[in-house]
Copies of this chain bind each other. A is one copy, B any other.
């Protein structure tokens, strides 16, 4: 693996989604894994007011660990961070709860550095249907307004947890490419969170991005091998094009089981289920193992250029374009 690790250190590695309770030790894991930038979830069910305090907490984290991390609002910020030897954090929300029912809050939260937002998280939202709903509303009236406003203000649309109809309608409606930051193809592992070939093709044709999830439930469990994973990457590259794929590890570190319960149940159900975090696969337990992905892709036969694209280059180009303010109406 020595050669692979050397190559890994030269890459701009971008993880398309993590949600961790970052302290110094967890930030150092990112550094040790050679990660240049992370799309970090800050919201699951929080409303506008709660999101303000979460952003304030991030301001403090950026100050307290300014030698290790910085905020990023553009691809350029990611490049600068890499030159400075810091990890760039792109903040995002896995739900539309921060904007409540106020269209103007898209621009307000974009101004505060909320760069990526899911339209739905598992459930029906005012914008569209989540992937666990029986009936898929599609992109709603308010949803169309919000997508248009996200397009205008340079906030990237994420459809990872959306239902299929909502996903397809949003891909078609959005004036800018959207992403599915953390999910896998259903041809690899059938799961309500994974995506059909139809969705993946539409995403690719629109110029969008898929981030491959490393979350055990999205790859069929911890028994999944690195070889099986990279075979999936290769098949998806054939389906979507190698420039449309990246990593979105869905890594979760430093949270107790109660946070998994919060992610699933929020305050919308009195469910008494007490879920536990799954066991992770041997080849990816923490972000320290990111180099194994580079090695695995090389072993699969991807060219150096393609490995660089998948490990971060594609996300970087996508974010370069996606975070720019647009003149769309």
Q: Which of B105, B107, B112 is the one whose CB lies under 8 Å from A111?
A: B112
CA distance A107 to B61 in the complex (A): 13
CA distance A53 to B53 in the complex (A): 16
Cβ–Cβ contact A104 & B48, under 8 A: no
Binding site for B on A (CB under 8 A): 47-49, 52-53, 55-57, 59-60, 102-105, 107-108, 111-113
CA distance A47 to B48 in the complex (A): 12
CA distance A113 to B60 in the complex (A): 19
Residues of B within 8 A of A47 (CB): 49
Cβ–Cβ contact B49 & A108, under 8 A: no
Residues of B within 8 A of A49 (CB): 47-49
Cβ–Cβ contact B105 & A52, under 8 A: yes
Q: Which of B60, B102, B105 is the one whose CB lies under 8 Å from A104?
A: B60
Q: How far is the CB of A111 from chain B (nearest CB, A)?
A: 6
Cβ–Cβ contact B111 & A53, under 8 A: no
Cβ–Cβ contact B111 & A111, under 8 A: yes
Nearest 5 pairs between A and B by C-beta?
A56-B104, A49-B49, A59-B107, A56-B108, A52-B108
Q: How far is the CB of A324 from chain B (nearest CB, A)?
A: 17
Q: Which of B55, B105, B107 is the one whose CB lies under 8 Å from A108?
A: B55
Residues of B within 8 A of A57 (CB): 104
Residue among A47, A56, A102, A113 with max Cβ neighbours from chain B (10 Å)? A56
Cβ–Cβ contact A56 & B102, under 8 A: yes
Residues of B within 8 A of A56 (CB): 102-105, 107-108
Q: How far is the CB of A325 from chain B (nearest CB, A)?
A: 12
A-B pairs with beta carbons under 8 Å apart, 11 shown: A48-B52, A49-B49, A52-B105, A53-B102, A55-B104, A56-B102, A56-B103, A56-B105, A57-B104, A59-B104, A59-B107
Cβ–Cβ contact B48 & A108, under 8 A: no
Residue among A48, A59, A104 with max Cβ neighbours from chain B (10 Å)? A104
Residue of B with least CB distance to A112:
B111
Residues of B within 8 A of A108 (CB): 52, 55-56, 59, 112
Residue of B with least CB distance to A58:
B104
